[in-house]
A and B are shown apart, each in its own frame.
Chain A
Amino acid sequence: MAAIILRPAVDAAIRAHGRETFPHECCGALLGRDGEVHQSHGLPNTTEEGPRRRFLVRPDDYRGAEHRARETGLDLLGFYHSHPDHPARPSQYDLDHAWPSFSYVIVSILAGTDRLLTSWRLKEDRSAFDEEPVRITNSPDHPVTQS
C-alpha cells in the first residue's frame, strides 16, 4: 500500500493537539493532495458519549473542512484523532464508523506524552482497516495552519 506523507509540521501539530486535549480525545481534518497531507485543522470534539474514549466531528464542521479544501485547492484526505492511554490502533468503534477512502491517522498519547502515530484505511468490504505506512517529509513552502 502507498504511504501517506505528513509534513513534519503536520505531524507536530497533530501530536501537540493530542497532548493539549489529553486525557480527552482530539480530532481534526487532513487536507492535501495525492497522498500528501499539507495542512491539519483541529476541530472541536463534539461527542456526547465522553471525550475520553470518543470523538465526533459535527456535520457542520465536516462541511467546513470540505469547504476549506475547495478554497485552498486541496482535497480532504481524512481525519486524525488521538487515543489517550491506548495504543494507536483502530478500535471496533472506529471501524463501525469509518468512511471509505479516507486516511485515519491515530496518535497514541500515553500519560500525556505523544507516542506512536499510525494511519489506517477502511477495506472496501468494511471488514477491517489496512494500516498504511506513514512518511514524514520536508516541504517548507507549505505552512501548516491549525484553527
Chain B
Amino acid sequence: MIKILIPTPLRPFTDKLDTVEVSGATVGELLQNLTTKHAGLKQHLYAADGKLRSFVNVYVNDDDIRYLQKNETPVKDGDTVSIIPSVAGGAPTAVTREQDALPELSGDEIKRYSRHLIMPEVGVDGQRKLKAAKVLCIGAGGLGSPAAMYLAAAGVGTLGIVDFDVVDFSNLQRQLLHGTPDVGRPKLDSARDRLNALNPNVHIETYDAALSSENAMQLFAPYDVILDGTDNFPTRYLVNDACVLSGKPNAYGSIFRFEGQASVFATKDGPCYRCLYPEPPPPGLVPSCAEGGVFGVLPGIIGVIQATETIKLILGIGEPLIGRFMIYDALRMRFRELKLRKDADCPVCGTHPTVTTLIDYEQFCGVAPHQIEAAKAPATRGDALTSLELKAELDRGETIVVLDVREPQEYQINRIPGSVLIPLGDLPKRYVELDPSATIVSQCKSGMRSAKAQELLRSKGFTNVRNLTGGILGWIDQVDPSQPKY
C-alpha cells in the first residue's frame, strides 16, 4: 500500500482524510484506484478529455512526475505520493469573456452553427464567445476579403472594416468581397452587402477612413482582435504599434507575388512585428502588389490563416501562431515556420520602450520626404516631363528614345509606340545598348522604377535623361485612352 497525501481542498471528497492508502505499481494505477475509491475526486483531478488537469501536480516523494515517467512512473512500498495544487487565476483577458455575460444563441443561429456546436472544442459556449467577439479588419482588399467572409460565416458577432478605396477592375482577380457590378462603388458598400448576405446575424461596422495615428487608438478601442490586411509599410507599423499600445492581438498577414506570411503579434507575452523588423525597408526596395503583381489565390490562403488564428484566439483553443512566423510559397506549395522571440530591446513592446505613443509612420518609413522631393523635382530641375509634354515633343518630330523599364509581361499589356524595353533589373548590364548622348525619357507603370533608371543612367554618364511622370498610366489618361490599364 502506498500513501497518497490529499491537499486541503480535496479532503471533502476523501471523508476528510489527509492521507489515503491505495495499491498500484505506477502513479497512473494509484490515481485510478484512488478515484475509484473516492469518486468525487475524479472531476477535480481530470479534465473532460481524461487527462490530468494542468494545475494538478503529482509528486512521488519530492519529484514532479512530469520530470519522471508521468503516469508510468513506478511506485513502491514506502513511497509517498502527493497531490499538490498549483493555484492559478487572473482577470479576464481581452479575448476571454465572462461566461455569464455571453449572449445566447437564437434557434436560427443554433441551426446555422450546428457543425461548430457538435465539436467540443467550440460547442455552444465557444459559439457564444464568437457571437460576443468584435474583430476589426484593416482593409477590405485581398486579405480582408477572405478573412471577413469566413469570420462572418463563423458567427463573429461584430465585424469592423476600415477602408477608403473604391472597387477597381484590377481588384476582382482576388478580392472576393467585391463583384463585377461593384466596380466604382466604395469597397465598404460592397463588403457590407456581401457579408450581410452571408450572415445577417453579424453586425457590420464600416469606417470610411484611412487608418492614421490620429484615429487608430479610438478605432481599435471597442475591438478584441485586429486583423491586419494592409498593403503598405507605414500602415503595417501603425497597426502593430497601436495593437501593442492598446493590448490587442494582431492577426497579421502579408502577400507578395507568390509568397505570403502570417503570424499573431502583440499578444501579452508574444513578440510584435517590430521584434522581427525593427526598421522598415528603404522606400521603394520592396515593391507593392501594384508594382510586383500578386497571385490571385494567394490572399485566399493567407487571409484564411488570419481568420483561423483570430477564431482560435477568441475561442482560446489550439496552438496560436504566437512567436511563430509562417511563410507560404504557392509555387512550391510549401509552408515554412520560423521561431520568433520577443525582443527585450524592442522599441514598442520591449522592457524599456521608446515608442509610447503613435508616431508619424509615413516619415518613419521614409515615404513622405521622398514624395515631397519627387513632387518638387520636375518643375525646378527639368528632369521630368508629363505625358502631354512627351506627346508634344514626339509630334514635333524630336528624336527621343522612350525607355520602358517595366517587365516584358507588362510591356505586352500596353506601351508607348516606339518605346525600347529594358527591364530595370537588366539595366545595370544593358545600359551600354543606349547612346549616352541621346535624348532619353525613362518610363514605367507609374514613375517609381523609371526614376531609379534615370538615376542609374545619370551615374553612368548619360547627360539627357528625363522621367515620365505618372508612367504609362498617365500616358493612357492623357494621350491614348484606347489602351488597357492594369
Contacts and interface: CB of A to CB of B under 8 A. Distances in A.
B43 A125 contact: yes
B459 interface: no
Given A49-B269, A100-B12, A92 B86 contact: no
Contacts of A83: 90-91
Interface stretch (A8-16, A33-41, A53-61, A134-142): A53-61
Contacts of A85: 91
Nearest to B125: A92
B86 A93 contact: no
Interface string A80-121: 010111100111111101111110100000000000000000
A60 to B, nearest CB: 9
B88 A101 contact: no
Query: Which of the listed residues A55, A59, A101 has the most CB atoms from chain B within 10 Å of its own CB?
Result: A59
Nearest to A57: B87
A44 B282 CA distance: 46
Interface in A1-38: 25, 27
B86 A128 contact: no
Interface residues of A, number: 43
A100 B59 CA distance: 20
A100 B13 contact: yes
Given A55-B88, A91-B92, A92-B92, A128 B268 contact: no
Contacts of A102: 8-9
A83 B93 CA distance: 11
A86 B96 CA distance: 13
Given A49-B268, A101-B12, A92 B98 contact: yes
A99 B10 contact: yes
B99 interface: yes
Given A47-B88, A52-B268, A84-B91, A59 B99 contact: no
Given A91-B92, A93-B93, A126-B43, A56 B7 contact: no
A91 B91 contact: yes
B59 A59 contact: yes
B8 A81 contact: no
B486 interface: no
B88 A56 contact: yes
Nearest to A95: B99
Contact of B93 (A53, A57, A62, A101): A53
A18 to B, nearest CB: 12
A66 interface: yes
Nearest to B57: A59
A56 to B, nearest CB: 5
A87 B86 CA distance: 23
A9 B264 CA distance: 45
B87 A27 contact: yes
Contacts of B460: none
Contacts of A58: 86
A54 B96 CA distance: 13
Given A89-B98, A91-B98, A92-B96, A101 B87 contact: no
Nearest to A58: B86
A107 to B, nearest CB: 11
A55 B87 CA distance: 8
B87 A91 contact: no
Contacts of B59: 59
Interface size class of B (residues with CB under 8 A): 20 to 34
Contacts of B318: none
A86 B92 CA distance: 8
Interface string B233-277: 000000000000000000000000000000000001100000000
Query: Which of the listed residues A25, A50, A83 has the most CB atoms from chain B within 10 Å of its own CB?
Result: A50
A27 B100 CA distance: 25
A62 B89 contact: no
B349 to A, nearest CB: 12
Contact of A97 (B55, B82, B91, B269): B55
B90 A101 contact: no
A104 B89 contact: yes
A134 B38 CA distance: 31
A98 B54 CA distance: 11
Given A92-B98, A128-B99, A54 B85 contact: no
A81 B269 contact: no
Given A56-B87, A104-B89, A91 B57 contact: no
A44 B43 CA distance: 28
B8 A75 contact: yes
Contacts of A66: 7-8
Contact of A99 (B82, B87, B92, B98): B87
A26 to B, nearest CB: 11
B91 A86 contact: yes
Contacts of B91: 25, 52-53, 83-86, 91
B84 interface: yes
B97 interface: yes
B407 interface: no
A52 to B, nearest CB: 7
Given A47-B90, A50-B269, A91-B98, 19 more contacts: A27-B87, A47-B88, A53-B93, A55-B89, A59-B57, A59-B59, A63-B84, A66-B7, A86-B91, A91-B96, A93-B88, A93-B89, A93-B93, A95-B99, A97-B88, A99-B10, A99-B85, A101-B8, A104-B89
10 contacts: A53-B268, A56-B87, A91-B91, A93-B89, A93-B90, A93-B93, A93-B96, A94-B90, A97-B87, A99-B7
Interface of A: 25, 27, 47-50, 52-59, 62-63, 66, 69, 75-76, 79, 81, 83-86, 89-95, 97-102, 104, 125-126, 128
